[in-house]
Structure 1
Amino acid sequence: MTSKKEKLEAPKIPDGLAALAVSDDEWADEHEISDSIIQDCHIHNQSAYKACFDRVVFNNAVFRGTSLRKAEFTDVRFENCDLSNIELSETIMHRVSFHNCKLLGMDITGSALRNVLFEHCYADYAVLRFTNAKGVKFDKGSLAKADMSNMTLSKFYLQETNIDQVQLSQTKLGGIDISSCEFNGLGVSMEDLRRCIISPAQAITLATIFGLVVNRED
């Protein structure tokens, strides 16, 4: 069973990062960016394969038409950013945090996430299929209609998150606590839900989803 008292490792970011202007640094395959802060900018039509970001802060950055397949993010923080529809498939993230970010349609298929925090983020329609997530928390945001099928979860936390209509097929939820989350429907099987922690009200909702009739008479 997961424990709400367990804490994720936060990004280890030093003080005094150097400001980096996107116009000064054209991204390319296997490109490396480290010890930098990238802020108040629009990052359009950038494409890099196996790029590496180490000890980087993105603040108020807007990504459009960007593909960073098989990238590596270590000790990285995103603050007030818009990464909607960004492609981050097969990416490795370690000690990464997203705060107040827009992640609509973000694609991180087949990625490995370790100590990753999503706080007050909106990731509706995000694609997380076949992602291995260990030490990952979604806190006070939305994953409505996201595709989280075939995921491997360990120390995975969903707290006060909208998970309505999330696809969870072939994702085992044993020990995962969704009791504080909001949903009217889920794409999930009874076997996948085995040992999942839910609230009494959610039990009624899930019973309805699976075609059971709940007798509410005393």
Structure 2
Amino acid sequence: MAKKQEFKIEKPRVKSGLPSIELSEVFNDEDEYASGEVIDQYIESQSADKVRFDQVIFTQVSFENVNFHNIELTDVIFDKCNLSNADFSDAIIHRVEVNKSKLTGANLSGSTLRNVRFSDCVANYSAFGFSDFKQVQFSDTSLIQTDLNESTFKNVVFKNCPIDGGNFAETSLNGIDLSSCTFDSLVVSLDKLTGCTVTPEQAVGLSKILGLIVKDD
């Protein structure tokens, strides 16, 4: 059996001892924030285009219902944050970690993700459709009813993730290992399943999804 190719996800290049920074009460298009830590702040229901964050750590920050279309996140860490229903569509996300955070209903469709890690998060009903993933890991992250349709995957890992009801339509799963994930049903494209790794039990479930009748002995 061929050995699985290993790949490395670059960590955010964030210096220790960053000063605390206060975010604006009202965001404007193309606002920029760099080299700081944001702690226990609320920026809910804000709206701005092309906001940029560079070398920023967010700890217990709420972005609920914000609309930051075309946001750019470089060398950023989210820790215990709430991004529920946040609109980060068409984002550029590079060297970013999202830890123990809530992304229920978040919209990241059309985004470019490079060297990104989601760990111990809840991202049910989130949207990643039409996105470009490279060097991305979802670990212990709930992705129930998540939309990943028509996306491009290269070096993407799903580890111990509930993905029931996930939409992978028109997304190639070649090289993707779903064997540690849990699901009863998925939306997939038959011609995009080649090279996907699943357990025997998952294979039976997928055959039923694709309309096959599995006959027990």
TM-score > 0.5 by shorter chain: yes
Matched with 2:21 is 20
Q: Which residue of 1 aligns with 2:10?
A: 9
Rounded to whole Å, the distance in 2 between the matches of 1:127 and 1:28 is 25
Partner of 2:34: 34
Question: Contact 1:123/1:143 (CA < 8 Å) preserved in 2?
Answer: yes
Shift of 1:4: 7.2
Identity of aligned pairs, percent? 36
Q: Normalising by the residue count of structure 1, what TM-score does the alignment of the two structures yield?
A: 0.94
Q: Which runs of 5+ in 1 are unaligned?
A: none
CA distance in 1 between counterparts of 2:88 and 2:15 reads 25
- 8 Å contact 1:2–1:177 — kept in the other structure? no
CA, structure 1 residues 124+16, in 2 after alignment: closer, same or farther (shift >3 Å)?
same
| Aligned residue in 2 for 1:105 | 105
Counterpart position of 2:194: 194
Q: Write the distance in 1 (CA, Å) between the matches of 2:133 and 2:95.
A: 12
User: Is the contact made by 2:65 and 2:84 (CA closer than 8 Å) also made in structure 1?
Assistant: no
Q: Quote the Cα distance in structure 2 between the aligned partners of 1:2 and 1:152.
A: 23
Q: Any idea what SS the aligned residue of 1:191 has?
A: helix
**Which secondary structure does the structure 1 equivalent of 2:60 belong to?**
strand
Change (3 A) 1:195 1:12: same
Residues 1:176 and 1:183: Cα distance change in structure 2 (over 3 Å): same
Shift of 1:16: 1.5
Is 1:143 aligned to residue 130 of structure 2? no
* Larger mean Cα displacement after TM superposition, 79-88 or 2-11: 2-11
Over aligned residues, Cα RMSD in angstroms?
Answer: 1.6
Tell me which residue corresponds to 2:72.
72
Map of 2:48 onto structure 1: 48
Shift of residue 25, structure 1, vs aligned partner:
5.7
User: 2: CA distance between counterparts of 1:119 and 1:3?
Assistant: 22
Whole-angstrom CA distance in 2 between matches of 1:178 and 1:120: 17
Q: Which of the pair is proportionally richer in strand?
A: 1
AA paired with 1:8?
I
Paired residues for 1:202-217 under 5 Å: 202-217=202-217
Alignment of 1:93-132 (within 5 A): 93-132=93-132
Deviations 1:6-64 (A, max 9, x none): 22101010012111123x56421111000011111221222221111000000001122
Provide, for residues 148-196 of structure 1, a one-character-per-residue CA deviation record: whole Å limited to 9, x for no partner: 1010110011011011001111101011111111000001121121111
5+ residue gaps, structure 2:
none
Normalized against structure 2, the TM-score is what?
0.95
